[in-house]
Chains A and B, each alone.
Chain A
Amino acid sequence: NAGVTQTPKFQVLKTGQSMTLQCAQDMNHEYMSWYRQDPGMGLRLIHYSVGAGITDQGEVPNGYNVSRSTTEDFPLRLLSAAPSQTSVYFCASSFDRANTGELFFGEGSRLTVL
């Protein structure tokens, strides 16, 4: 099993450009989520999904879109990148839809917006 796979690992964008961070898991987990990690602020939840076709907003959803067409994939879209979105992004999944179980994290995607 590969676990949670994120691509790309590094990306540099110019302000206003769009891009998609990919996340795939091969553990048949129902729950998937996206976090951003910024120094001194820990991890903040952007969006999450409790199953295919179901998504919801987290703590910091503005500027980001998600979709969940399959159980395996949960892409994160930046429609118009801003310097404030410079961060490290983590995708995480759990077998437990209520999110009371262990979260499995990807290796992270480091995004720089100029």
Chain B
Amino acid sequence: AQSVAQPEDQVNVAEGNPLTVKCTYSVSGNPYLFWYVQYPNRGLQFLLKYITGDNLVKGSYGFEAEFNKSQTSFHLKKPSALVSDSALYFCAVSTARQLTFGSGTQLTVLP
């Protein structure tokens, strides 16, 4: 069975500082990995995905994620956080037509 872990329920960072939201996964075979963002009272929005190729994936709104096969991690990063980045972030893994989400990490960027 596939699974995703987001070890931090809450991440706080000051505006302008780099941010990292952590994700580790467990899956048989090669994973398809995703990051989604959810703003209050809205549906999830796609940020980026890793299928194959370069371990550093660039996505929407200046976000990027680093795939590390040996550590089975897919951490979300941004060099300089904005207050508008404050939201709930979900990591997900896809195999066999099912997308499994982590429990989510609430990111708060402080002005």
Contacts and interface: CB of A to CB of B under 8 A. Distances in A.
Interface of A: 4, 31, 33, 35, 40-45, 48, 50, 56, 58-59, 90, 92, 97-108
B44 A99 contact: no
B26 to A, nearest CB: 15
B45 interface: yes
Given A103-B46, A105-B43, A107-B43, 18 more contacts: A40-B9, A42-B4, A42-B102, A44-B101, A48-B97, A50-B97, A59-B98, A99-B94, A99-B97, A99-B98, A99-B99, A100-B32, A102-B46, A102-B49, A103-B34, A103-B44, A108-B42, A108-B43
10 contacts: A33-B99, A35-B101, A40-B103, A42-B101, A45-B100, A90-B43, A103-B34, A103-B99, A105-B44, A108-B43
Contacts, number: 59
A103 B100 CA distance: 12
Contacts of A99: 94, 97-99
Contact of B51 (A44, A45, A100): A100
B63 interface: no
Interface centre among A42, A59, A99 (most CB of B within 10 A): A42
